Structure 1
Amino acid sequence: MPGGGFIKLPNGTVVVALTLPRPCPDGTGGNGKVRVLVHAVNRARALTRLRNLGMRAVYLRGNAEPPTPDEITAVLHHPDGLLWRTAPDRTAELWHPIRALLG
């Protein structure tokens, strides 16, 4: 089961962080996991943004792995508000735009 969590920001928006299996373009699943960050108006909208990108089975159950302060900063400073990197976190790896994962 994927892990994840969210945090509500002072302006009312949320940052959702999910640890998911790495998707493959052919739909067979991937090797390893990725940490995906989404900035949106609310949790439902964040999950909808991922589902609209083809990640149909994305759910957020609980708040076991909320985003860290560094993750929040990264997603807030990205124009798309959608980022990913391999999980577990590799501190040397930079965050990637979501299109690099799906393309």
Structure 2
Amino acid sequence: MNTETDTLGHLIEIEHKAASLLMDAQTEADKRTAEARSQADADYKAQYETLVSQMEADADKRIGDLKEKHNALFSAYRNELASCAQDTAAFNDLLKKLLFGN
């Protein structure tokens, strides 16, 4: 009977060691998973920030180019209008005709 008790005690001791090893392994796995997740999040954030800054710089450049183009077109339009001759007599005649029907 003593042998059976010793055997059962030994088996229980082995089971406790196995449970302890399993718990240590799970703790280590959780730690590594958390570290990997943290590193992946940091890498993602760095890549995201780089991409956002590149896109913002590109957008700023495009906006600047469009403003320059707009200003050039508007300036050309104003110059074209300034160079047009005004026929005030014909305009006044048209107004009289439209307003008074003469």
Work out which of the two has the higher radius of gyration on C-alpha atoms and give 1 or 2.
2
Q: TM-score, normalised by structure 1?
A: 0.16
Q: TM-score, normalised by structure 2?
A: 0.16
Greater RCO (CA < 8 Å, at least 6 residues apart): 1
Report the structure, 1 or 2, having the larger strand content.
1
Report the structure, 1 or 2, having the larger helix content.
2
